[in-house]
Structure 1
């Protein structure tokens, strides 16, 4: 799906938030929300909660991203997108290791809202095998994602970036989207070996990166924009604005910052860009990579 990086969106986009979540604990548990640090987000978050904050920040379209490895979540998200004038795309989940993954993707697209499916993601960060992406069954699944014209979101830890590079090199037809910069250790201030690994990934033309998730990788109580800047500068230099997209990571970001503060931090981190470059990072890249069909209102 390398062509997805350069494909034109339907219309000129407004501000796009390319990464957020919602969940309802009465529908299903979010088993990853455990411990005191995550306690503030162990409650329901809906599109109705997000809408006023997004609109106030100038966001006119979003991409809703999966949270759990449960097949039922993706149809629910597609139905939400179908009934929303905010959600333009859904990054869902499917079992990449299944021999029937191609059929599962095709069936998902026939569901209500199926036209909003723009990508697939799996919590690779939780896999104990650092080479999980390179397993033969997973690679077969990645090939099916590419053949379906979808992107693949990478949610990984820094030590898993080496496998990401090999997977992206082995699937030039598929666009890989690195979530949250690959979760660099911002709180520690260390750049290496993360920076070298992320530059290796960026060297491949079928990769893009989300400028997202920074505030929660920093110290959530004391972070400043200056703490985030070395990491943002690294991906700006490695990928360029036309292969970067803004994402809020709401509501996870609320552990460290409000929605408005996350948007403001992203603007400050990109204050050296031209107007055209900022348009790419804050909308154009997401519209191209995810092939978002944005309304005129967006």
Structure 2
């Protein structure tokens, strides 16, 4: 059950007048080939009783994260930013520190890289990447995993090597919902979930289902598997707006997630829809007010 305390832990924004989104290609993604702004999101979030959000990077370029931080700095809705920095760079720790000095830098809560696009199946295990992930951990940030099912086993190895870093799996690792298959995705998901420094987002599932003809029942085996593996204390609700609009509107996705976890009690639902995002991403840390004084973020 969602409500006015709901936090959306995963959405995007982009402005095609500022930069292209190279991943938007082909007829299936054509509806996304326009700008989607925070102003577009605000009424959708309000209608769905969402009080705060976490915006997540979409392209691996250094310019995007400062823009997202500035956007969050002027927003009453966006409470956190999962940005990007080059994990393989020798000065990755300095780069993270520099992001935190920018307007809105106190709202940087995580880092993400498009691992799903890396041809090297062991990219997360490379020494330079591991060094970068360690810098993320030392900065007190989370690391968002955007991977495909065949990369889940490597993600589990990476998380095991860095127990001090919280790994947050986006979109449940993009399970093969359209095919109706559970394994090997389920086995690899359980391997990742067995590590205490991991969490996962109930997000991006409608776009992994059969286009135009999916039903809630098609998603249930995958969310049930995630609930069994992670438990309600390590799952976060995310809309994946505007990508979700390919198959369902913002309010529909929010209601759908509530339906899929309807077997949880009120406290467990509150964890999925609010408290896990606060804990995993550290939302609510002290931030600057408009007058420059310290004040609490209120997601």
User: Which of the five TM-score ranges fits, normalised by the shorter chain?
Assistant: over 0.9
CA contact (8 A) 1:60 1:297 kept: no
Please name the residue that 1:157 is paired with.
148
State how far apart, in whole Å, the 1-side matches of 2:210 and 2:77 are.
Answer: 31
Unaligned runs of 5+ in 2: 286-295
In structure 2, relative to structure 1, the CA distance for the partners of 1:25 and 1:280 (3 Å cut) is: same
Task: Please give the secondary structure, in 2, of the residue aligned with 1:219.
Answer: coil
1:88-237 map, 5 Å: 88-237=79-228
Query: 2:243 pairs with 241, 245, 252, which one?
Result: 252
State how far apart, in whole Å, the 2-side matches of 1:260 and 1:108 are.
Answer: 33
Give me the TM-score of the superposition, normalised by structure 1. 0.95
Unaligned runs of 5+ in 1: 1-12
Shift of 1:296: 7.7
State how far apart, in whole Å, the 1-side matches of 2:196 and 2:188 are.
Answer: 15
State how far apart, in whole Å, the 2-side matches of 1:17 and 1:56 are.
Answer: 13
CA contact (8 A) 2:10 2:56 kept: yes
Question: Which one scores higher on RCO, CA 8 angstroms, separation ≥ 6?
Answer: 1
- Alignment length (residue pairs): 286
Task: Please give the secondary structure, in 1, of the residue aligned with 2:217.
Answer: helix
Q: Which structure 1 residue ranges, 4+ long, deviate > 2 Å from structure 2?
A: 294-298
Deviations 1:242-283 (A, max 9, x none): 100000000000001001110111010000000000000001
Deviations 1:46-86 (A, max 9, x none): 00100001011010000000000010000000000000000
State how far apart, in whole Å, the 2-side matches of 1:50 and 1:112 are.
Answer: 21
Task: Please give the secondary structure, in 2, of the residue aligned with 1:111.
Answer: coil
Deviations 1:126-168 (A, max 9, x none): 0011100000000000000000000000000000011101100
CA contact (8 A) 2:121 2:151 kept: yes
CA contact (8 A) 1:216 1:253 kept: yes
Task: Please tell me whether residue 55 in structure 1 is matched to residue 12 in structure 2.
Answer: no
Please name the residue that 2:267 is paired with.
276
1:8-47 map, 5 Å: 14-47=5-38
Task: Please tell me whether residue 263 in structure 1 is matched to residue 254 in structure 2.
Answer: yes
